[in-house]
Amino acid sequence: MIFRNLTMAGFKSFAEKVEIDIDPGLTGIVGPNGCGKSNIVEAMRWIMGESSARQMRGTEMDDIIFAGTENRPARNLAEILLKLDNSNRTAPADFNNADELEIIRKVQRGKGSSYLINGRPARAKDVQLLFADTASGARSAGIVSQGRIGAIVGAKPEDRRSLIEEAANIKGLHQRKRDAELKLRGTETNLERLDDIIQQLSEQRAQLAKQARQAARYRSVADRIRTAEAQLLRARWYIARAASDEAKKRDSVCRQEIETATRNNAAIAIQLATAAATLPALRDAEAAQAAEVQKFTLTLRDYERELAQIASTQQRLTSQLAQIDADAVREDTLHGDASTALDGLADELKAQEEAVSLNGPRLDDARQALEAARSKSAAADTAAATLRAKRLAVQAARESRRAQDTQLAERIARTETDLAGLNISQRETEGYEASERRDDAERAARDANTAFDACETALNAADIAREEDLTRFRDADAIVTRLTAELDALSYLLSESDSQIGTPMSDLVAVSDRMELALSLCFAGELSLSYTPSDKGFWRDGFTASQMTAPKVGTPLSQFVSGNETLLRAISGVAVVDDHDGASLQNQLAPGQALVSRDGTLWRWDGLVKTAQAASDAERIRQRQRVQELTEELGTTTATRTTTENALQSSEDLCRETRGERASLLEAVKRLQNEETDARRRAEQAVAALQNARTREVDLQQIRSDALQDRTALMGEVQTDDDISALDQQLEDCENTARACRGALDSAASSEAELAQAIHTATARKIDIARQQQDWQTRLSQTAQRRSEMTARRTAAQQEMDTLSQRPALIKGEQDKVTTLQEAAEISRQEKADALRSAEEKTQTLTTSQRESERLLSTARETGIRAEGAREKCEADLEVIRDRIAEKLNCAPAQLDEIAGLKEGASEEPIDTLEARVTRLHNERDQIGPVNLRAEIEMAEIDSRVTEMQTEKDDLIEAVAKLRSAIATLNKEGRARLLESFNDVNKYFTELFKTLFGGGHAELRLTESDDPLLAGIEILASPPGKKMQSLSLLSGGEQALTALAIIFAVFLTNPAPICILDEVDAPLDDSNVARFCDLLRDIAQRTQTRFLVVTHHRMTMARMDRLFGVTMEQKGISRLVSVDLQTAEEMRDPVMGQA
Cα–Cα separations (whole angstroms), residue 858 to 263, 847, 873, 1065: 13, 16, 22, 117
The CB density around residue 954, as the number of other CB atoms within 10 Å, is 10
- 9-13, 520-524, 692-696: the lowest-pLDDT one: 520-524
Judge whether 919 and 927 are in contact, CB under 8 Å: no
Express each pLDDT in 121-147 by its tens digit. Answer: 988 888 888 887 777 887 777 788 767
Element (H, E) at 397: helix 171-422
Percentage of the chain exceeding pLDDT 70: 83
Q: Which residue has the higher pLDDT, 112 or 753?
A: 112
Q: What is the DSSP string of 936-978?
A: HHHHHHHHHHHHHHHHHHHHHHHHHHHHHHHHHHHHHHHHHHH
Distance set, CA 1064 to CA 140, 180, 1107 (Å): 16, 38, 17
Average pLDDT of the chain is 76
Split at pLDDT 50, 70, 90, the class of 1139 is: very low
| Cα three-residue angle 47-52-58, rounded to 5 degrees | 95
Please give the torsion angle defined by the CA atoms of residues 114, 116, 121 and 124, in that order, rounded to the nearest 10 degrees: -50
Q: Which of 4, 1015, 836 is nearest to 449 (CA)?
A: 1015
Report the alpha-carbon distance of residue 781 to residue 1073 in Å, rounded.
Answer: 104
| CA atoms within 13 Å, Cβ hemisphere of 42 | 21
Does the structure show a pLDDT above 50 at 71? Answer: yes
* DSSP single-letter state for residue 892: -
> 79 vs 8, 116, 340, CA distance in Å?
6, 11, 96
Strand, helix or coil at 1114? Answer: strand
Comparison of pLDDT for 1085 and 1126, the residue scoring more:
1085
pLDDT tens for 268-283 read: 778 777 777 777 777 7
Strand pairing of 143-145 and 1058-1062?
parallel
Burial of 942 per CB tally in 10 Å (0-12, 13-18, 19+): middle
| Position 116 confidence tier, pLDDT thresholds 50, 70, 90 | very high
Q: What is d(CA 898, CA 231) in angstroms, rounded to the nearest whole number?
A: 10
Query: What pLDDT does 614 receive?
Result: 46
**Nearest partner of 230 among 877, 913, 898, 921, judged by Cα:** 898
Task: Check whether 1068 has a pLDDT greater than 90.
Answer: no
- The mean-pLDDT minimum among 60-64, 82-86, 870-874 falls in 870-874
CA gap 1083, 992 in Å, rounded: 11
The pLDDT score that the predictor gives to residue 29 is 92
Long-range contacts of residues 946-953, Cβ cutoff 8 Å, at least 24 apart: 946/198, 946/201, 946/202, 946/205, 949/194, 949/197, 949/198, 949/201, 950/198, 952/194, 953/191, 953/194, 953/195, 953/198
Distance of CA 628 to the CA centre of its chain: 63
pLDDT tens-place string over residues 995-1010: 888 888 888 888 777 6
Who has greater pLDDT, 841 or 401? 841
Q: Mention every residue, 6+ apart, whose C-beta is less than 8 A from residue 356.
A: 759, 762, 763, 766
Residues 6 or more apart whose CB falls under 8 angstroms from that of 486 comprise: 626, 630
Give mean pLDDT, residues 445-449: 79
Residues in the chain: 1139
Task: Specify the amino acid at residue 807.
Answer: R
Higher pLDDT, 776 or 639: 639
Cβ atoms 226, 917 nearer than 8 A? no
Q: What is the pLDDT of residue 140?
A: 77
Phi, psi of 1062 (to 5 degrees): -110, 95
Which among 1000, 1060, 1074, 1067 is positioned nearest to 153, based on CA atoms? 1067
Average pLDDT for residues 594-616, to the nearest whole number? 73
- How far is residue 300's CA from residue 724's CA, in Å, rounded to a whole number? 122
Task: Check if the beta carbon of residue 300 is closer than 8 Å to that of residue 811.
Answer: no
**What interhelical angle do 616-714 and 171-422 show, nearest 10?**
30
Report which listed range, 50-54, 338-342, 853-857, 907-911, is most confident.
Answer: 50-54
pLDDT category of residue 489 using cuts at 50, 70 and 90: low
Gyration radius of the chain's alpha carbons:
64
1094: confidence class by pLDDT, cuts 50, 70, 90:
very high
User: What confidence tens digit (pLDDT) does each residue in 553-572 have?
Assistant: 777 877 777 776 666 677 77
pLDDT digits (tens, 9 = 90+) for 621-675: 666 767 777 788 788 888 888 888 888 888 888 888 887 887 888 788 778 877 8
Max mean pLDDT among 47-61, 670-684, 826-840 falls in 47-61
C-alpha separations of 548 from 239, 526, 831, 836, 1029 in Å: 69, 19, 141, 132, 113
- Residues 6 or more apart in contact with residue 259 via CB below 8 angstroms: none
Please state, in angstroms and rounded to a whole number, the distance separating the CA atoms of residues 652 and 904.
Answer: 74
Tens digits of residue pLDDT in 196-232: 887 787 777 777 777 776 777 677 777 777 777 777 7
Run of H or E residues at 787: helix 721-804
pLDDT digits (tens, 9 = 90+) for 948-983: 877 777 777 777 777 777 777 767 777 777 788 788
User: Is 1023's pLDDT higher than 60?
Assistant: yes
Q: How confident is the model at residue 714 (pLDDT cuts 50, 70, 90)?
A: low
1137: pLDDT confidence band, cut at 50, 70 and 90? very low
Q: Give dist(CA 114, CA 77) in Å, integer.
A: 11
- Judged by phi (left if over 0) then psi (alpha if -120 to 50, else beta), residue 302 lies in alpha
**For residue 876, is pLDDT > 60?**
yes
Which of these ranges, 316-330, 766-780, 895-909, has the smallest mean pLDDT? 895-909
Contacts of 211 (CB under 8 A, 6+ apart): 931, 932, 935
What are 1003's strand-pairing partners? 1020
Confidence of residue 552 (pLDDT cuts 50, 70, 90): confident
d(CA 163, CA 1056): 13
Predicted confidence at residue 104, as pLDDT, reads: 93
CA pair distance 1127, 1110, nearest whole angstrom: 20
Distance between CA atoms of residues 58 and 950, nearest Å: 52
**pLDDT top residue among 512 and 678:** 678
Highest-confidence segment of 84-88, 1022-1026, 1058-1062:
1058-1062
* 609 strand-pairing partners: 603
The half-sphere exposure of 764 on its side-chain side, counting CA atoms within 13 A, is 6
What is the Cα–Cα distance from 640 to 470, expressed in whole angstroms? 13
Identify residue 382 by its one-letter amino acid code. Answer: T
- What does the pLDDT average to over 369-374? 74
* Amino acid code (one letter) for 555: T
Can you give the pLDDT at residue 28?
92
pLDDT of residue 82: 92
